[in-house]
Structure 1
Amino acid sequence: MNWSTQMKNSRIAKENIEYEKKMNEYYLKCFLLEFSKICIFFIFFSLLGLIPEYLIALLSLMLLRSNGGGLHYKHYISCLAVSFLFLCGSITLATYITPPTILACFTSLLCSLIGYWLVPITSSNRPPATVEQAKKSKRNTMFIILEFIILICICPHNTYIFIGYWTIILHIFQLVIARILKEVKKIV
């Protein structure tokens, strides 16, 4: 191996190390920000005596968001506020609105199809999903929602199941908004 090839390989190795270092810093920052939001929400919902409801809403949202993405905000406070409204909305809707089982199954099926069509919606800070990642995202999103349909049929009067149901509805709604915003940015 000649000297210029060795130098080039050395430079590439350094660039890869720098990239990995920056990605690790990014992941650590994301983890800390998300963890802080989870802790803030935990304190709030514990004061209201809604820890189980919060945990169900959070788990449902994490399953959906980690597979399909969604709206992303540039500022922590915006993300905190919208996430708070989202979680409160899921819990409140499940507490006061329980649709008939057939309607819940139908709307969930519709959400699985819309979700399949829309995902993945990734942050502008990340590279776009590969074809394989997009297929996996679509498949997982549809599978998660179809599992909720089964749960709705098995436990049609369970408030916790309907927290998941309303999380799905709100998640798909925000995916639609995210897709519209993405399309508008392409035009503008």
Structure 2
Amino acid sequence: MLSLLHHPNLVNLIGYCADGDQRLLVYEFMPLGSLEDHLHDLPPDREPLDWNTRMKIAAGAAKGLEYLHDKANPPVIYRDLKSSNILLDEGYHPKLSNFGLAKLGPVGDKTHVSTRVMGTYGYCAPEYAMTGQLTLKSDVYSFGVVFLELITGRKAIDNARTHGEHNLVAWMTFSCSQRLTFPP
């Protein structure tokens, strides 16, 4: 599937090798590693990403996802969007990688694809996890989690934090509900 998809924000498949039961995919080299490497557990000598770089990465990842959902025919549901699957080149230009869980999306008047639930805990949309009904919106939820990671610098799931702060989305939802006040 990846060999048919071409976009500046998708990692390029350069080639493959199939020898007996051995399979090898060759992708372009992404020298800055993953977004996860730049957000979490930074070594003391590395500066955190600045705000402009974070927003550049978010915009590029969104463009890659938009291509998969709106330009690819049929649409592709990525199904495993997370910070470790967003790779960065020399200029912090983001590219989506690791399409191993991707599924061809619904076509025609269908709204979803029914499938076994796959993905990474903390990034998986709750409605998909509960029903197995995969939609393009499932990826949008995952993008929202990555965006929260970019904004807060926190992991999607962090068991080193106190009990109420393990899950980034739950923590953010609770924190925002406590701070919002509405006029009577």
| TM-score greater than 0.5 by the shorter chain | no
Relative contact order, CA 8 A, sep 6+: which one is greater? 1
The answer to which structure has the higher helix fraction is 1
TM-score by length of 1: 0.22
Structure with the larger strand share:
2
After TM superposition, the score normalised by the length of structure 2 is 0.22
